[in-house]
């Protein structure tokens, strides 16, 4: 039975195929700068250039701090030279390949047209101050100010993403646009990913600042900078939190104006977002009543905001939820073993070491580090019975305390397998119409990123799902009761059987077949008549 070959649009999951016999300029443009050529290095180059711009801004801020800049002046200069070299090469490359760009190739002088475009002027401004200082004596402060203009290079990434976002959300309300920006959806596009990366950047920066702030020597030098940085971070996180609460009602499961927002506020991710900004406001408004400086350490909770951008924590949560009865049972056994160990330790060691084994609760610390095979050595048994008991219980602890880790490891692997099977089943359903369109491809790729699947693994899943779909459509491999359940399948199978009987008549010895069939009535008269009709020896009766 012939099946229709599905038209699968899996371009984002495949490697770019660019002929190697093209002219060098055309070949370079398709590989490096063409935004329409899937699988090339265009997005990779943009991503690394954007990262270099951000690092330049960080370096520029650090240069304003003498205690950081003075000892590492040579390193700052080397990094500036490296950055200018990369930006210059990028500018020259784009200038050279301008005749291949659709925006400029129609012009009489494509390179001149490119050099006068806004993006080209921004690229030139990013490197020009460095070369000007070789000929014009520029004040260092003016030079730093001009280098700050490198941030404008980010518009090369932001502007196309904004236009894509604007086109995708044409005719939608402001709240719907906000929802598309802050929540994953088919309307967010590249701008949503940029927003996520922006939040991730500030989470990392603010957490690093909190860590360095705990170092007294650094905190003494950069106290004001840390305060400003924290205020900016809190402002960004507060705005993000408000945008999520405001636009969450666009989610069908949170439609109610008040109830939906309360439901969103009670989600784990929203609670984390709230805790990330709460210490700042508590300390700001209540510092004159209470000493709340201890709350600053809770700013490290911002690190939990990163769990929104990875599927690993979601998978781990599902694993713990699914295996909770077994984990609870093993935790109960561990608790019994700890209490028993602490009690025996107290029994055998109390008289010999009353200061270390003063009571059973104090002995629990020793029991845990012994059973967990940590053994800090600050508390250890000295009596013969205590040492024998410690050996036995330490060996037991190796097995008992390893149970939860083994359970989690096995369940985590199993959960990944289940989720990958679910993705395969979804692919199977998507291929039911023979087509994997753009929206379905985006959904598959998003789920693949969450499951940490490579492009090759996704392609193998697509091929496997397509083959299983073809096998399902092949009626001949279905059980007879499955075929009979569908009249269309039954008719097709009946036609196949008749065709096979005809082929059998052609391939077998007709005279010998007739002789054997009539011996001992192997075929009834009706069966023999039907055979003759199918073979065309007699006209088929209506």
For residue 17, give both structure tokens.
Answer: 């195929």
State the pLDDT at residue 433. Answer: 62
238 in Cβ contact with 277 (< 8 Å): yes
Instruction: Identify the pLDDT of residue 11.
Output: 42
Identical topology for domains 41-156 and 324-400: no
CB under 8 A, 24+ apart: contacts of 64-67? 64/144, 65/221, 65/222, 65/225, 67/221
d(CA 10, CA 466): 13
pLDDT recorded at residue 145: 66
Helix (H, G, I), strand (E, B) or coil at 435: strand
Our CA angle for 282, 285, 291, nearest 5°, is: 65
Cβ within 8 Å of residue 438, ≥6 positions away: 9
Domain 324-400 has CATH 1.10.287.70: yes
Q: Which CATH architecture has domain 41-156?
A: Up-down Bundle (1.20)
Which helix (H) or strand (E) element contains residue 436? Answer: strand 435-436
10 Å Cβ neighbour count for 290? 11
First to last CA, the chain: 26
Q: Phi/psi of residue 351, each to 5°?
A: -70, -35
Nearest CA to 147 out of 86, 232, 45, 61 is that of: 61
Q: How much is the CA Rg of the chain, to the nearest whole Å?
A: 35
Record the pTM. Answer: 0.68
Determine whether domain 169-309 maps to CATH 1.20.120.350.
yes
Taking Cα atoms as reference points, which of 153, 157, 139 lies closest to residue 83? 153
Residue 490 contacts residue 484 (beta carbons within 8 Å): yes
Helix (H) or strand (E) holding 318: helix 312-322
Which segments in the chain show pLDDT lower than 70? 1-17, 138-146, 288-295, 311, 431-439, 442, 450, 452, 454-455, 468-478, 520, 537-542
pLDDT for residue 3: 39
Write down the H helix ranges in 312-383.
Answer: 312-322, 324-349, 360-371
Tokens at 353, concatenated: 């070491």
> What is the pLDDT, as a whole number, of residue 4?
40
- Let me know how long the chain is: 542
Q: What are phi and psi of 529, to 5 degrees?
A: -65, -40
**In the chain, where the domains are located:** 41-156, 169-309, 324-400, 483-535
CA dihedral (232, 233, 238, 243) in degrees, to 10, reads 100
Give me the residues paired with residue 435 across strands: 7
CB 466 within 8 A of CB 436: no
Q: How far apart are CA 232 and CA 228, in angstroms?
A: 6
Tens-place pLDDT, residues 350-409: 888 888 888 888 888 888 888 887 777 777 888 888 888 888 888 888 878 788 888 888
């Amino acid at each position: 039975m012939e099946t229709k070959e599905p038209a699968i649009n899996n371009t984002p999951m495949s490697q770019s195929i660019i002929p190697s016999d093209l002219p060098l300029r055309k070949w370079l443009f398709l590989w490096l700068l063409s935004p329409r050529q899937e699988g090339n290095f265009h997005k990779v180059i943009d991503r690394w250039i954007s990262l270099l711009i951000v690092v330049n801004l960080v370096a520029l801020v650090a240069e304003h701090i003498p205690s950081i800049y003075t000892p590492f002046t040579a390193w700052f200069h080397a990094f500036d030279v490296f950055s200018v070299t990369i930006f210059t090469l990028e500018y020259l490359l784009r200038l050279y390949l301008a005749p291949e760009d659709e925006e400029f190739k129609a012009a009489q002088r494509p390179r001149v047209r490119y050099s006068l475009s806004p993006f080209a002027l921004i690229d030139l401004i990013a490197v020009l101050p460095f070369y000007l200082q070789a000929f014009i004596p520029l004040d260092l402060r003016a030079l730093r100010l001009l280098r700050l203009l490198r941030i404008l290079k980010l518009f090369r990434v932001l502007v196309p993403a904004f236009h894509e976002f604007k086109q995708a959300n044409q005719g939608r309300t402001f709240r719907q646009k906000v929802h598309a920006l802050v929540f994953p959806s088919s309307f967010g596009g590249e701008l949503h990913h940029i927003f996520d990366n922006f939040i991730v950047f500030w989470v990392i920066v603010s957490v690093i600042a909190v860590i360095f702030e705990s170092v007294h020597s650094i905190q003494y030098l950069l106290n004001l900078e840390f305060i400003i940085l924290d205020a900016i971070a809190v402002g960004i996180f507060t705005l993000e939190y408000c945008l999520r609460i405001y636009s969450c009602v666009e989610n069908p499961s949170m439609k109610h104006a008040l109830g939906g927002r309360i439901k969103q506020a009670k989600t784990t991710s929203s609670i984390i977002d709230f805790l990330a900004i709460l210490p700042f406001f508590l300390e700001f408004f209540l510092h004159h009543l209470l000493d709340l400086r201890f709350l600053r350490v809770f700013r490290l909770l911002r690190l939990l905001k990163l769990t929104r951008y990875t599927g690993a924590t979601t998978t781990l949560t599902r694993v713990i939820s699914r295996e909770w009865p077994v984990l609870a049972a093993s935790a109960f056994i561990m608790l019994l073993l700890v209490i028993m160990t602490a009690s025996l330790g107290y029994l055998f060691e109390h008289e010999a070491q009353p200061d270390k084994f003063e009571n059973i609760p104090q002995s629990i610390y020793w029991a845990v580090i012994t059973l967990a095979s940590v053994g800090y050595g600050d508390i250890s048994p000295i009596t013969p019975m205590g040492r024998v008991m410690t050996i036995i219980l330490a060996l037991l602890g190796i097995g008992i305390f390893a149970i939860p880790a083994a359970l989690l490891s096995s369940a985590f692997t199993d959960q990944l397998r289940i989720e990958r099977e679910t993705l395969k089943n979804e692919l199977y359903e998507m291929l039911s119409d023979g087509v994997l369109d753009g929206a379905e491809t985006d959904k598959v790729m998003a789920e693949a990123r969450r499951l940490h699947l490579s492009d090759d693994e996704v392609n193998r899943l697509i091929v496997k799902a397509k083959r299983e779909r073809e096998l399902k459509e092949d009626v001949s491999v279905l059980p007879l009761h499955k075929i009979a359940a569908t009249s269309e399948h039954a008719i097709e199978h009946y036609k196949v059987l008749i065709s096979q009987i005809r082929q059998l008549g052609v391939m077998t010895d007709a005279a010998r077949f007739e002789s054997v069939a009539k011996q001992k009535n192997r075929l009834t008269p009706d069966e023999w008549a039907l055979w003759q009709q199918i073979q065309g020896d007699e006209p088929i009766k209506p």
